[in-house]
Amino acid sequence: MLSDNLKEIDAKDATIVCASKYVGAESIRKMYNLGIKNMGENRVQAFLGKYDELKDLDIIWHFIGHLQTNKVKDVINKIEYLHSLDSIKLANEIEKYSMKKIKCFIEINSGEESKSGIDYSEALNFYNELKKYSKIEVIGFMTMAPNTTDEKIIKGVFMRLKDFKDSIDPNLKLSMGMSNDYKIALECGATHIRLGSILWKGEY
């Protein structure tokens, strides 16, 4: 049961962003009724359908996947958080189409296997550049750990991001940790954990 799945999770003080890509609107409604209001989608078409079906709820929508620049106008006024800001092109589109300030995490690429996110070498410049944008509020950094069971590697990835954001501003937030590695992420200072499969066990 979803309520049992939820009970298993000790998120400490972090916000649980429920990755709802695995399920349809009715399952999301059940999760919402259990008290989870932050939902994260990573595909534009699926998100738009669920958004319409769930308009009667005050869900806080996060977009957590790669966002193509040509899709920004369809999505941006329906979300409050974007976890995957990683290019000036994307920032320009947000500036053009958003009617309010969007809370954004800059996505950092933590491994060669991942194509999304920007490299550490460019991240500080990118962060500073974004200060000019009136529709973008950078609230922190996001990353995904490589798909490995080696906890030392995962911890290294998360600690690197924590140290990096502390060097810029300790008050910034950290979106990191998924079903398999959220406990490590919490130890490393995650403020937002993005949980999917662990929350939806038995539901799909």
Ligand X SMILES: *Cc1c(COP(=O)(O)O)cnc(C)c1O
Q: Which spans of this chain sit near ligand X (rule: CB under 6 A)?
A: 19, 21, 42, 64-65, 178-180, 194-198
For the bound state, the minimum distance from the C-beta of residue 66 to ligand X, rounded and expressed in Å, comes to 8
**Nearest-angstrom CA–CA distance, 115 and 180:** 20
Cβ(80)–Cβ(103) below 8 Å? yes
Q: Considering the complex, what minimum distance in angstroms separates the CB of residue 176 from ligand X?
A: 9
Residue number with CB closer to ligand X (49 or 95) = 49
**Exposure class string for 176-201: b at 16+ Cβ within 10 A, else e:** bbbbebbbbbbebbbbbbbbbebbbe
CB of 128 to ligand X, least distance (A): 25
CB-wise, 80 or 95, nearer to ligand X? 80
For ligand X, the closer of residues 95 and 187 by Cβ is 187
Is the Cβ of residue 114 or residue 135 nearer to ligand X in the bound state?
A: 114
In the chain, beta strands by DSSP E: 15-19, 38-41, 60-63, 81-85, 102-108, 136-143, 173-175, 192-195
Least distance in angstroms from the C-beta of 159 to ligand X? 19
Smallest distance, Å, CB 69 to ligand X? 18
Which amino acid does the sequence have at 1? M
Nearest 5 degrees, angle CA 96-CA 142-CA 183? 150
Nearer to ligand X, 46 or 95 (CB): 46
| Residue in the shown chain whose Cβ atom is closest to ligand X | 196
Residue found by looking up tokens 């932050």 in the block: 38
